[in-house]
Amino acid sequence: MRILLTGVAGFLGSHLAERLLREGHQVVGVDNFASGQRQNVAYLSGFPGFSFVEADAAKPLAVEGPLDWVMHFASPASPPRYLKLPIETLLVNAEGTRHLLELAQAKGARFFLASTSEVYGDPLVHPQPESYWGNVNPIGPRSIYDESKRYAEALTLAYHRSRGIPVRIIRIFNTYGPRMDPLDGRVVTNFITQALKGEPLTIYGEGRQTRSFQYVDDLIEGIRRLMEVDYPEPVNLGNPEEYTMLELAQLVLELTGSRSTLVHVPLPQDDPKQRRPDITLAQRLLGWQPRVPVREGLARTIAYFREVLGSPALG
C-alpha cells in the first residue's frame, strides 16, 4: 500500500510509520515539526519505502501518485504543547481534517483519524464506552484540543455518510513508550525525566486522579487491526488498568531507583478526575487487548530515557 501519514515526526506517527514500512508498504510522511522531532524523520529515512514532505497538515496538500490510505495523526497532543499552540491545534484538527478528507476522496483512498479519549472530557461515566457523549467544557483552556477532536470526528463521519468515503476513527487513551519527547509535559515523561534527574516529581492536586496507560506497541497493533476491518465509528484503544498519579509516581521511583521526592502543585482547570477505557468493542471487533504490562512498558521507556538524557543508572 501507499499511505500518506501526517504527524510522522511525532511519537505515535513515527512508530506507526515504522510498522508500516517494516511490512513493506510505502509511507509518505508529512510534518511541520510544530511538536514532532526531526530525529524521528531521520530514523525513518533509512527505510527505502519512506518519503517526507515538510508541510503544515492544516493546509491543503498536493500529493502526486495514488494513495491507498490518508492517515491523520498530526496535532499537538500534550496540554503544555497545545496550550502554547491553540490556534494551530484547532486548525490542524478542523481544517486539516477537512482538507485530508477531500484528498482521500480525490484519490479514492480510505481515511483514518487519530482521535483521543479527551473527547470524553471530565467523564461522568466510568469506564468510558464509545457510546458515552462526554462532559467537555466547550470554552475552557483544554477545549482547543477536546473540541477540535470532537469536530474532527463529526466531520469524518459526515464525509463518510454523505460522500461514501471509507473511514476509521480511534480514540487513543494515554500512550507512552520510546521516542516520546522528554519535554512534552505529559505525566509519564514528566515523572521519568524528573526521577532520572533527581528532581521532585510534580503531582497535580492530591494525585488521586486516575489515568490508564498503554504501551505504544499495543496501540500500533490495534491501529493495524482496525485498518483491516470495515467499521467507520470510533473505537477506544487503551489499557483498562487504572492508576492514580500517586501510584504511578511511586512505580516510576521504584523502577528508576530514584530518591526524588514528590511536590504538589494546583490542579489545572478541567483536568479529568478519572479516565479509563471500556475496550469491549475493540475486543469484539478486532480481537485486540493490550499485552504489555505497565511495569514492563515503563521499564522499557525508562531505559530509552536514560540513553536520551545521558543519565547514569540510578538503580
Looking at residue 312, its pLDDT comes to: 52
List Cα–Cα distances, 86 to 75, 100, 155, 229, in angstroms. Answer: 11, 20, 20, 34
- The residue-averaged pLDDT of 36-55 equals 95
The mean predicted confidence, pLDDT, of the chain is: 94
Looking at residue 87, its pLDDT comes to: 95
Cell numbers at 216, concatenated: 505504544
Annotated catalytic residue 215:
no
Looking at residue 313, its pLDDT comes to: 44
Q: DSSP state, 239? A: -
pLDDT digit string, tens, across residues 115-143: 999 999 999 999 999 999 999 999 999 99
DSSP string, 110-135: EEEEEEEGGGGBS-SSSSB-TT---B
* Helix, strand, coil fractions of the chain, as percent rounded to 5: 40, 20, 40
pLDDT digit string, tens, across residues 272-286: 788 899 999 999 999
Looking at residue 267, its pLDDT comes to: 82
Residue 271 has pLDDT above 90, yes or no: no
According to CATH, the superfamily of the domain at 2-175+214-237 is NAD(P)-binding Rossmann-like Domain (3.40.50.720)
Of 82, 145, 159, 176, catalytic: 145
For the chain, report the end-to-end CA distance as a whole number of angstroms. 45
pLDDT digit string, tens, across residues 295-314: 999 999 999 999 988 845 44
Q: Among the listed ranges 32-41, 242-251, 304-313, which one has the minimum average pLDDT value?
A: 304-313
Looking at residue 274, its pLDDT comes to: 83
**Side chain identity at residue 135, one-letter code:** N
Give me the percent of the chain exceeding a pLDDT of 70. Answer: 98
**What is the reported pTM?**
0.94
pLDDT digit string, tens, across residues 169-208: 999 999 999 999 988 888 999 999 999 999 999 999 899 9
Distance of alpha carbon 10 from alpha carbon 41, whole angstroms: 9
Distance of alpha carbon 15 from alpha carbon 292, whole angstroms: 16
pLDDT band of 78, cuts 50, 70, 90: confident
Looking at residue 198, its pLDDT comes to: 94
Looking at residue 191, its pLDDT comes to: 95
